[in-house]
Structures are given as structure tokens and as C-alpha cells.
Structure 1
Amino acid sequence: MLSLEQFRDERLRISKEELAYRLNISTDKLEFLEQNPGLIDLSFLVQLSQLSGYSIDDIIQFKPQEILLLDVKDSYSKWDERLSQMKKSLERATEIFKKPKIAFFGPSDAGKSTLINSLCGQKVLVSRWTPLTSSVVHLKHVADKPKWMGSDEVMVLQEPSEGRLDYDLLLDEEYCKKLKIDSGKLEITRNHISRDYKGEILSKAHHTLIFVDAPILKTCDLLDSPGYGTEVKGDTEHAKRLIKSMDAMVYMCQSNGFLNKKEDVDFFIKSTKQLPNLEHLFVVASQAQLIGEKNVPLIMKRAISATINMDLHQTWNLEKEMFRKKFSNRFFTYSLESEVLRSRFERAMTNFLELEYPELLSRKVQQEVPSSFFALLSNS
């Protein structure tokens, strides 16, 4: 059947209005005939033939020019699936490869805040050799601070009315704003995470986030717990809850009373069992200058004997002798006044943050993320 519209476009190369004018018919009639070619009569064909110079047979037999197809193979659809797999693998790898949360535990006079200040190279936390910290303090690097916090350096939170604080949502705006008590510069921490000179708690704060520009915080988050065993029941409860969220633990106790109390040993053993690896444990005798370098071996031997519970080796599926050797190697001393008494701890912590923990995460990623992900990366 004649395609009048295409004949006009391809052979005559004129507009609908111009052809209607030359045929002396209305544009509406021409449009009607283009849409209903079965109603075109012989007189119209004769008139069109005379106008165009094409014979009636040529007009009737006219076939529109074919649109050629370039057959190209789809090289992208296979990548859609690959990229989808890569996205899932990358999301899983991102979930795994996170900075460790290192929690500091110990009795109320252990000096946790003092050690944390030393690791950060600045006085972030108020410290005295009396019970002071009354809130779980989360120290994070300033680069981790969410934009919605603006110029604030600190955010103070209370516990949710139902359940416990979700540590994975500590940077979520909606979640944090529901629990926020206060926010501002570092100075406000004195009003929320400290006790007064009588030991009275100054605030109802349960968690305090502090964002600090310290090199160590690029490799980990530091969590300072309230000292357990104080007269405030909530302090011990906060410490116990924090245990379940940690990736590594620094357990501290004053050197002149290093793990010689039953409550210290009991808390230490229960918290140690929560660690994924024995290498994530640091047991520190603080204020080691009080006992002196020559007395360190004796103090350590006694503390190890007091804590090497026979059930502990089963936690990490180690034989007793291997466990004893590794466990003994996790005991350290620390003193601000003596480099000799703190150097071994500093070396061990540096090695853990720079090598051991990143390598552990790398192995875990390789175990849980398909090998095809890494092949795609190398081939892309």
C-alpha cells in the first residue's frame, strides 16, 4: 500500500503544506490521505504523477528506504553483572576493613585517662590518680567527624530509653540528635565526663564523643571506660557493656597493686574472654616507677600466675603451653617517667596498629570476599 507521507518526504522532499498548495487541496485533506492511503483515488494519483514527474506505477510501487541496522555486540551488559558483584564485594570489604576500637579498662585509679592522653600527645581527658571519668569516652580522629556537627568538637549522649547504645550509629545524625545532651568545644567535657573533687558525678552523660587531631586516631578509636568497682553501680555496668563492642583491650592496674585483688582478676578474666585474638590484649602495670625496673619480673610473674585461668586457653583453642607463652607476652609496664618501662608497650601497640590488625583484616577480606573481586580489580 502506498505510503504517501514517506513518498513526499523521500521523493518530493517538500512539506505537507507545500504539496497541498501545489495540488490545490487543503492541508487537512492531504493529512487525511496520508493517514488513510486506502482512500486515495486514481484522479489524485494522476494529479500527483503530473506534479512530481513520477509515473503512477512508480508512485504505487514506491517502497520507503530501509533503515539499515548496525549489529554491534553488547560489551556492557556483562559488566553490569560484574559491577554489581564488585559493589557487593566492596560493601562487604568496607564493613570488614574498619579501624579497631581499643577499649581501656581497669579499676578507678588505674590511670587510663593519663595513658590515653600520652598516646594522643595532648591533654584530651582530665586525669588525676583518683576516680574521675564518669562517662564512656569515644575518641575519634577529627577527619571522622560528620559534617552535620559543624564546628563542634564534642558530642555528649545519653543511653537510649530502650535498649543500649548502638556503636555502629555513633555518626548517624538522626540517631545522635535523639540522644544528644550537649555539644560544643573540648571544654564542655569537664561538665559531663568528670567528677568533682568529692567524686560526685557532674552530668547524666553516658557517652561522650570527642574528635581529636592525633596520629594514633587515624589507625584506631580509643574508648575510655569509667573505672569499675566504684561506689557508682553504673560505672561498672558501662565498663561491662563496652566489653562487647571492643576489638582490642588495654587492661590497666597500678603496679604496686597489680592484679592482686579478686575483683580485678575476675573482671580481667571475664573481659579477656571476649577478645577475638589473644594478640589483641594488652595488660599494663601503670605507674611502674613505683615498683622500679628490678622488681618488674617478680610483679609480672605473680600477676600472670594469678590470672592464667585454666579455661582461658580454650577461648582461643590453644594448647596450654603455647597459651602460657603467648599470654605472658601480653603483659607490659608503663610509666611517663621512664622510657625503659614504657618502650615495650609502645612498640607492641605500634606493631599492632600498623601491621598486625591491618593484616588480620586483609586475611578476613580475602576469606569472605570472592576471589573474582580481586581478579576484576586487577583486570579493570
Structure 2
Amino acid sequence: MNDASNYEIFKLKYFREEILHLTQKEFADLIGVSQNTISRWEANPGSLELSTIILISQKTKYPLNDILKLMTPKETLTKDWDYDPKNWELLNEYKNKLKISSIKISQEIEKFKSNKILKDRLNSLKKITDNAIRMLSKPKIAFLGNSDVGKSTMINTIIGRDVLPTGWTPLTSMQIRLIHSSEKPNKLGDNDTIILSSKGNINNIQSDRFNSSKFWDDFVVETGNKQLLQEYGDRKGKKYIRNKEKADVAFIYVDHPILRGCELWDLPGFGTEDNEQDEFIAEQGKQNADAYMYLSISNGFMRGTDINYLKNVLDSISQITNDMKVLSNLFIVATQSHVIEDDISRNEILAEGAIRMNSVLPTNFWTFKNKVLSENNSNYDPIKHGEFSYEAFEKRFFTFTKDSIIQSSRLKEDFFTFLNQIAKNKMNEVNYYLKTSTMGFMNSIDKSLQSLKNTKKPQIELKQLKENRVYVLSDIENLANKSKIEIEKARNMCIKEFTNEYNNYMSISNLENILESKGYKNRKNDKEEFTTFVGNTIQQKFENIIYKHSKEYAKQLELEFDRLNKQAKVSFDYRLSFVNSIVTGVTSFGALTIWMSTFGNLGGYIVATKIVGLLSSIGISVGGGAAATAFLASIGGPITIVLAISIIAGTIVGLLTGRNWKNKFAENVINAYKKENVLEKYLEAINKYWDDTLASYNTNNMIKEYDNQINELKNKIDLSETELEKTQSHLNKLKLEILNYF
């Protein structure tokens, strides 16, 4: 038995709130003392005598040995996570330099707004700069899990103070983002908290938009101090109850070193059945995050709905940068690990959780992820980047408790390594991007200078462009028609193939065979895991089919661009023009995401600059593997967490007895899927995916690109001798000074 003399304090408040789930008054009545006495004990828990702790054990019927486990050993008193942000400070300094450069370039654009040649070149330079700024953004860390696993508690422990509200009832009904205080908007003044309404689209809310008066007026609900979190985020808060503004996001600015290297996002817990809005807010937050802390309580680790939630996270995960090891941005954490007897038992719990999760994944889950990564990233190196595998997955399990530095040390060290590696990789990626982009930019200036020196050449080119306009417009129209035909072909093939796969798989005989071959028993846990395995396998079939036809569509698109550019009679790049026709501001590019992932290492700086901007607008790193793995996340699927749990509940009905229980249970599963119209939902998702592909570009913009090229040549020809010399002088100056911007 543990010796109480080895312990400094008994976490009485934690015991009352998170173990017993009692108010102070209820606990006082149970123990037989006044509420003031309980308040005094909780304010100074170190003063509690062993006799008092024994009394608490007797009255609560909670074993004394287990109570002693909740006491904090002297040698393991916790403190905040003392992260050294030096790598990020260097990166942030460089990012600030780029921001200053972007402002200077904007001033230059305004200065030369009447000179289209200079204005266009400066706009290109600004896009390069702004892309680099976006690429240097800090990772967003989402804290996910059921509503009672201690997400807010963990964040408070990392920060070293009670920034977020905590308790055993679901408190966080908002997406709360912790940002470093140095990034606080000037409008906030002495306050540190902003409450916002995303108006149904969390993508509207970005931390770098607060300087916009329109953004502030449209989305900011209220500003103040941390008390607002209780009022809006606590279900008992007055402003939560009368929340007419539908406030769903909060920013809180905190001075802590770890926030110099990341943003910490506290998301609403899953499983709050009385409020589906929480599920929606959590899902949108997950989609916009870069890394995930998935929390599950130790004494029920990876049980029940955890399996479904974590699979949902695995489907969403992608590389933050192209040089990161796979799965390094995933942390699966067993919280309140102090309640487990010893390190051996804790490690066993982690291992069993990994095995349980892996058992419900489709047979080719890891293989498929590796296929997507390797096929779309020429720089992928299995030795350097690792492979998606169970071996890599099981290393992502950790323990955490606010009461022990030792039990949380491996998580902390791994997380610090992760942040430092991202900083280095982001700087390397930005340097490579700027190097290739500036080379391309300077080449474009050289071409402009040569064109300006030879006044006859623009006239010849202009004549050719005008004469061939009707043919180019015909090419663009044919391209649009062929693209639509390919999209409809892909859509129909996806629907046909998935319907066949689904019907073949969801037969009683096939499900019976799976139950038999995988050794499932006639017990609740086994049947839940089987139903989850079935759902995951169907999702995998959906992704396989979508990916196959997306690759084929991308291949046909590339062949068409090669053909058009090869036979072009004028200097017009159909591929670049198509890139410029892609619509900004959408949340999904459909199959174009996989097509764009191939541009990560191409030398065409204008294409690359546009692609980087488009991908980063939906949270994808600069091409290559990061874009390819993010493609998997963008596919999504119609089976939400709530629906998956509903299906599981629909299958576990009644007691199945006799030798043919497998047949009866297989029939239950099929009926549950029919009741929820799962096949129809998947077909709707296929249609939406290809509708998104079609809606993500507008070939009318290609015609505008062609006409802009004609107008640019006209501008060159119409330049007076003085303007011509001035333009040449400024282009030469821009070429010489470009490196000063970076």
C-alpha cells in the first residue's frame, strides 16, 4: 500500500469534480461537514491530515489505496511546458520582414498603377511574397476527444495557468484558439479575448484578418477578458443560453513561449448528444487543424466511440510539410494516467489501444495511404519520411496527467521535437520556393525587357494573337467540353463501381464470412468492433474508387494541355491559363487537388505561385506529398461520427442466441445500413465530389487571360519613348533589388 507520508497534497477538488462529479455542497453533505470546510480544504489541500483522507475514503466508498494514487508525489509536481521557441522566433522575424516587403510592394503597385507592365510584374512579386508568408504560418494543434477527457485541463497544464474553463460536465461549446499575445490586434486594447460568430463557416475566421474593419464588423460579437469564455462557452453561462449571435469561436491571447511556435485549439467534445452544434464545430475545427492531440481517458482507453472518432482523425491527417515524417503530427494521449498502477500497466493500456484501433481498420488502409503519397511526390523517400504503417502508428501513443511530469515527459519531448522540426522544414521549403520563384520572376523580367527593346516584336505578336483569337477561343471551348465529358465519365464510373462494390460487400454471406474469418464472438464489444470495421472498409472502397478516377482525370487533363501547347500557333500557355481560371474561395477543388499536387517541383514559377496560393487557401502545404495526403482528407465521406454511432446502436439490438447468430447479426447490420440510407449517402458524396471539381474552375477566365495578353501587348506598343525608358529603368531596378525583398 502507498504511504501517505511520501505525498505532498491530495487533489481534493479534482477528486470531487472529476471522479465523484459532485458540487461542493453535495460533497459536504456526504462527508458530514460544512461547505465552508470543503472550500477551506480545497484552497489548502496540503493541510489535510491522513485521518481526514481516511474519513473521505469511508464516506465516499472510494478505496483509500486509489485515493492515494490521486495524491501528488513531491518529486513529480507538474509545471508548465517550458518550450524554447528560438527556432520559431527566427522564423517569425523572417515572416515579419516578408510582411514589410509585402507592404512596400503594395505601395509600389499603387505608385505604378497606370503602367500595366510594371503593375503586373509587381503583382506577381506580391503573390510570391504573400505565399511565402502563408507558408510560414504556425501549426494549428487541435485537441480532440470525448467531452470528459480533459482537453481544457491539458491545455491549462501546458500553459501553466487556468486559462480555459474546466469541469466534469461538457463546458467547451465553442472552438477556442489560444494565440500568442504578441499577435493581439490593436483594437483589443487591454482586453485579451475575442468572441466571434463564424456564421456557419469556420473558414471565415482567420487570425490575420482582424486588421480588416469589415471582418471585425462582420464576425466579432464581443471583446473582453477570459470571463467571456465562461459566459459563452459554459453551458450554464448566461450568454451561452441567450446566444442569439450564434457565437462559436473564441480567440484568447496569452503570453507563453509555446504559443510562439503553434496555436492551441480547444474543440468541443464529441458525444454531447444534446447539442449537435458541438459536433459540427469540432468537425470544422478538425478540418482546419495541422496536428491533432487525440485524448482518451486512461481507465477506458480507446473504448467504444473512441475507435470511430480516431478513425475520423486518421482519415483527415496529412503532412504539414513535405519533409515531415508520416504521422508525426498525431498524438494519441491516455489522460489521467496517474490512476493506473504503474508504468508497465500504462504501457500495456497504450499497446492494447493501438491493437484495438488497428483491428478495425480496412485490410489495405496503410497500403493505400502509402500509394497516394508515393505516386504524387517524386521526392518521397520511405527511409527519410517513413511509411504509413501500424509500426509507425503504435509509436504515436502517449500518457498524460497534470499531476506527474514523469508520466507526461515523453509526450512533451516528442511535441517539442515536432514543433522544432516544423520550423526548420518550413524555412527550408520557403527558401526553396523563393529561390525557384525569384529565378522565374527574373526570367520574366528579362523577356519583358527584350520585348521592350524590340518594338517590332510586340506588333508581330499582337497581330498573331488577334488573328488566332477565334481558334484559341474554340480550343478553350473544346477544352471545357472535354473536361465536362471526362468529369461525367468519372462520375458515372465511380457510381457504378461503388454501387457494385457496396452491394457485393454488404451481403449476408460476405458479412458472415468476415465474422468467422476474423474470429468475432457473440458479445457486445466484438459486435461493435465488427460494425466499425465494416463501415471503415466501405469508406476505404469509396476512397479507392474516387482516387483511381481522380488520377485518370488528372492524366487526361495533362495530356490535353500538352497537346494544346504543342500545337499552339501563338504564345499562349493553356495550362497556365487554366490554373488562373481556378476559382478562389472554395473549400474543395475536388479532383483538381490531385492534379495540382503534381506542381510542387515544377519550374514554371507563375504556375507554381498560383498553385501554392490556391492550395494554401484551403490549408495545404506547397505541393507534393503534403497536397497528395491532404487530397485524402478532402475526399471525406458521408458517414459522420454521429451517423456511425447510430449505425452501431442499430445493430446491437436484442440478444442473439444459437449457432446462426452470425447470420442474424449480419442481417441486423445490413438493415441498419438500409435504415440510414448509407448507399444513397455515398452516391450523394460522389456527386458532390465531381460537382466540386466542375465548379472549381471557370474557362471563361481563360478567355479573359487571352484578352489580357492582347491588351498587355497594346500597352507596350502604345508606350511613349519616355514611358518606355522609364519602364525599362524600373524593370532593371526591380531585377537588381528583388533579393532585398527576401
C-alpha distance in 2, partners of 1:178/1:377?
Answer: 38
Pick closer, same or farther for the CA change 1:159–1:86 going to 2, 3 Å: closer
Shift in Å, 1:130: 2.9
C-alpha distance in 1, partners of 2:122/2:197?
Answer: 41
Q: Which has the larger radius of gyration?
A: 1
C-alpha distance in 2, partners of 1:146/1:267?
Answer: 35
* Residues 128 and 437, structure 2, Cα contact 8 Å, conserved in 1: no
Q: Partner amino acid for 2:297?
A: Q
Shift in Å, 1:195: 2.4
* Residues 155 and 182, structure 1, Cα contact 8 Å, conserved in 2: yes
The structure 2 residue matched to 1:356, chosen from 421, 442, 460, is: 421
The runs of 5 or more residues in structure 1 that have no matched partner are 1-78
Cross-structure match for 1:131: 170
Work out which structure has the larger RCO, using CA pairs closer than 8 Å and 6 or more positions apart in sequence: 1
* Residues 85 and 373, structure 1, Cα contact 8 Å, conserved in 2: no
Cross-structure match for 1:240: 283
Equivalenced residue count is 297
| RMSD, aligned CA | 3.0
Cross-structure match for 1:48: none
C-alpha distance in 1, partners of 2:411/2:299?
Answer: 18
Q: Does 1:167 align with 2:205?
A: yes
Q: Does 1:295 align with 2:335?
A: no
* Residues 370 and 387, structure 2, Cα contact 8 Å, conserved in 1: no
Q: Partner amino acid for 2:416?
A: T
The runs of 5 or more residues in structure 2 that have no matched partner are 1-117, 320-326, 374-381, 443-737
TM-score normalised by the chain length of structure 1 = 0.70
C-alpha distance in 1, partners of 2:129/2:399?
Answer: 40
Q: Partner amino acid for 1:223?
A: W
C-alpha distance in 2, partners of 1:225/1:281?
Answer: 16
Q: Does 1:338 align with 2:381?
A: no
* Residues 141 and 217, structure 1, Cα contact 8 Å, conserved in 2: yes
Cross-structure match for 2:236: 196
Cross-structure match for 2:549: none
C-alpha distance in 2, partners of 1:368/1:275?
Answer: 24
* Residues 193 and 202, structure 1, Cα contact 8 Å, conserved in 2: no
Shift in Å, 1:281: 0.5
Q: Which residues of 2 match residues 134-213 of structure 1 at below 5 A?
A: 134-160=173-199, 163-168=201-206, 171=210, 172-196=212-236, 203=243, 204-213=246-255
Q: Which residues of 2 match residues 230-309 of structure 1 at below 5 A?
A: 230-231=272-273, 232-261=275-304, 263-277=305-319, 278-292=327-341, 293-308=343-358, 309=361
Pick closer, same or farther for the CA change 1:287–1:202 going to 2, 3 Å: farther
Local SS of the residue matching 1:332: strand
* Residues 177 and 265, structure 2, Cα contact 8 Å, conserved in 1: yes
The structure 1 residue matched to 2:152, chosen from 110, 113, 127, is: 113
Q: Partner amino acid for 1:324?
A: Y
Local SS of the residue matching 2:294: strand
C-alpha distance in 2, partners of 1:217/1:92?
Answer: 22
C-alpha distance in 2, partners of 1:247/1:182?
Answer: 27
Cross-structure match for 1:227: 269
C-alpha distance in 2, partners of 1:131/1:102?
Answer: 20
C-alpha distance in 1, partners of 2:309/2:741?
Answer: 51
Deviations 1:127-180 (A, max 9, x none): 1233211111011111111112222211111231x6444233652442233222
Local SS of the residue matching 2:389: helix
Pick closer, same or farther for the CA change 1:272–1:289 going to 2, 3 Å: same
C-alpha distance in 1, partners of 2:252/2:307?
Answer: 30
Local SS of the residue matching 1:108: coil
* Residues 109 and 130, structure 1, Cα contact 8 Å, conserved in 2: yes
Cross-structure match for 1:46: none
Q: Partner amino acid for 2:285?
A: L
C-alpha distance in 1, partners of 2:387/2:411?
Answer: 23
Cross-structure match for 2:436: 371
Cross-structure match for 1:93: 132
User: Comparing both structures, which one devotes a greater share of its residues to helix?
Assistant: 2
Q: Partner amino acid for 2:335?
A: S
* Residues 370 and 388, structure 2, Cα contact 8 Å, conserved in 1: no
Shift in Å, 1:83: 7.8
C-alpha distance in 2, partners of 1:133/1:110?
Answer: 12
C-alpha distance in 2, partners of 1:155/1:328?
Answer: 38
Q: Partner amino acid for 1:219?
A: G
Pick closer, same or farther for the CA change 1:372–1:206 going to 2, 3 Å: closer
C-alpha distance in 2, partners of 1:120/1:340?
Answer: 17
Local SS of the residue matching 2:250: strand
Q: Which residues of 2 match residues 7-156 of structure 1 at below 5 A?
A: 87-156=126-195
Shift in Å, 1:365: 2.2
C-alpha distance in 1, partners of 2:355/2:213?
Answer: 47
User: Comparing both structures, which one devotes a greater share of its residues to strand?
Assistant: 1
C-alpha distance in 2, partners of 1:316/1:121?
Answer: 39
Pick closer, same or farther for the CA change 1:233–1:362 going to 2, 3 Å: same
C-alpha distance in 2, partners of 1:163/1:321?
Answer: 34
Shift in Å, 1:270: 1.2
* Residues 110 and 252, structure 1, Cα contact 8 Å, conserved in 2: yes
Cross-structure match for 2:413: 347
TM-score normalised by the chain length of structure 2 = 0.37
C-alpha distance in 1, partners of 2:741/2:416?
Answer: 35
C-alpha distance in 1, partners of 2:170/2:142?
Answer: 17
Local SS of the residue matching 2:353: helix
* Residues 89 and 370, structure 1, Cα contact 8 Å, conserved in 2: no
Q: Partner amino acid for 2:215?
A: Y
* Residues 333 and 399, structure 2, Cα contact 8 Å, conserved in 1: yes
